[in-house]
Amino acid sequence: MDKFQEMASFVAVVEAGSFVGAADATGLSKAAVSRHVAELEQRLGARLLHRTTRRLSLTDDGQLFFTRAKEMLAAIDEAESEISSRSGEPSGLLRINAPLTFGVLHLAPLWGRFAQLYPKVSLDIELSDRVVDLVEEGYDLAVRITNLPSSQLVSRRLASTRMVACASPQYLALHGTPAHPDELAQHEVISYSYWAARNEWTFTAPDDSLITVRTHARIHANNGDTCRAAALDHQGIILQPDFLVADDLRRGDLVELLPTYRAMTLGIHAVYPSRKHLPIKTRRLIDFLVEAFAAPVWDTPPAA
């Protein structure tokens, strides 16, 4: 018996929750799936599943083997997809979703180069700060800026961005410069509506303890460019990613605050529905983005 077939049948049973469901998912008969799992257990000399009339559950050995088997099968699928993709030329439509500000500043300059490299690929790009459902809405790939939770989606890290608390020199001259995160509660703040914590800003102190301060926003906006514009107009303090404010910090139009207290660092990820049978066009786009962001132009060290 093929070891990979045994593993595939076992993983299908666990994911479907039954032998009948695994048979439907794999296109095999229920008897064949049952035989594969029984032969796998016999070969390993270990019981992997607890079987009752009502349900299946994993043994401790089964849980360990399921995790490893799923990783191995995914790696095989990815390797086959990568090799097969080398023999074909990418073509067809790519539907892409990305955050508005990042899409304008850092993705828009790349699309022309990608189109030149792959002339048979068409691009449909939507910029939106809402989190889209890739499967339901038919996207091939999304760029997301977040610390990704566990998900059925697959991701590849492109870069990272550092959240920076900053304000204009004019605002600070009028209202003073905070020396501790707690002092932000007494300042005018411009908040980003899609920030999960809303008005609560968290910093890591030099001793690695966490400090959370509840700010009081004078202006709320669901767009980072709007927050930045208000800060440049001396209206208050913002907490925004360095991919947006790096140039302002370099010019001195904005000043980084609380340099010894670290705000969150977020990952920038290419997210796609599945590794299995990944189309050539999507793989080429992912590889292109990884290379494009190997040395991010916004990468700024914390202020001294």
Residue 150: per-residue pLDDT? 47
- 121-157 confidence digits (pLDDT tens): 999 999 988 888 888 888 999 999 987 654 567 889 9
Beta-sheet pairing, 121-127 with 92-98? parallel
Mean pLDDT to the nearest integer, 196-213? 89
Same domain for 234 and 97, yes or no, is no
Please tell me whether residues 114 and 205 are part of one structural domain: no
Structural domain includes residue 201: yes
Q: Which residue has the tokens 């299995």?
A: 276
- Condensed to tens digits (0 to 9), the pLDDT of residues 267-289 reads 999 999 876 668 899 999 999 99
Asked if residue 249 belongs to a domain, the reply is yes
pTM over 0.85: no
Phi, psi of 130, rounded to the nearest 5 degrees: -80, 155
- Which CATH number covers residue 146? 3.40.190.10
CATH number, position 78: 1.10.10.10
pLDDT higher than 70, residue 78:
no
Range of the domain at 253: 161-264
Same domain assignment for residues 236 and 279: no
Residue 297 included in any domain: no
pLDDT value of position 135: 81
Q: What is the arithmetic mean of pLDDT over 238-254? A: 96
How high does pLDDT run on average in the chain? 89
- Determine which of 33-37, 50-54, 94-98 has the lowest per-residue pLDDT on average: 50-54
Rounded to 10 deg, the angle between the 280-292 and 108-117 helix axes is 130
Is residue 302 included in any domain, yes or no? no
Q: Is residue 301 part of a domain?
A: no
Domain check: are 170 and 212 in the same one? Answer: yes
Neighbours of 90 (CB within 10 A): 19
Q: Which helix (H) or strand (E) holds 174?
A: helix 169-175
